[in-house]
Amino acid sequence: MHKDKVLEGGCLCGAIRYRVYGEPFAAEYCHCRMCQKVAGAPVSSWMDFKVEQVQWFKGSVFEYSSSEHVRRGFCRDCGATLSFRDSRHPDYFTLAIPSLDEPEQVQPTYHIYTESEISWHRIADDLKRFPQSRQS
């Protein structure tokens, strides 16, 4: 994806829409228990941007405090998971890759929280793996 590339996405019902300008500075698979529960899946995929790269142009995300520093955003109408914000990193905004209109445009480059990987789920790629967060 080029720096001048614009991607669009939104929730399942279309009540919330966004644009992102440029490339994410990171993209990851997360295997933590909270992401598993929010997604209803063994793994979630996220893309990380600077706040100024993200523009909401229809509707607004409802946020839930899932832990002391984390707010997870979703659509109040359809329940689709859209975002993740960590108050310790106020300049960053994380979006769910599957919420993109064309999710093939962004591919994760590493796995985090693999210590929580569900036993029947197997990672079949050669990407870097972190038992916890990348900073741990």
Q: What is the pLDDT along the chain (136 residues), one digit of tens a residue?
A: 456 899 999 999 999 999 999 999 999 999 999 999 999 999 999 999 999 999 999 999 999 999 999 999 999 999 999 999 999 999 999 999 999 999 999 999 999 999 999 999 988 999 999 999 887 5
Q: Specify the pLDDT at position 4.
A: 82
With beta carbons less than 8 A apart as the criterion, state whether 129 and 122 touch.
no
First to last CA, the chain: 28
Across the beta sheet with 92-96, the strand order is 62-65, 70-74, 81-86, 92-96, 44-50, 26-30, 110-112, 128-129
pTM, to two decimals: 0.92
Residues 108/94, Cβ–Cβ less than 8 Å:
no
Alpha-carbon gap, residue 75 to 53, rounded angstroms: 20
Taking the domains of the chain in order of start, what are their residue ranges?
Answer: 6-129
Burial class (CB in 10 A: 0-12, 13-18, 19+), 126: exposed
User: 3-state DSSP call for residue 19?
Assistant: strand
Judge whether 33 and 25 are in contact, CB under 8 Å: no
CATH 1.10.3720.10 for domain 6-129, yes or no, is no
Structure confidence at residue 3 (pLDDT) = 61
Asked if 89 and 106 count as a contact pair (C-beta separation under 8 A), the reply is no
- Note the pLDDT of residue 2: 53
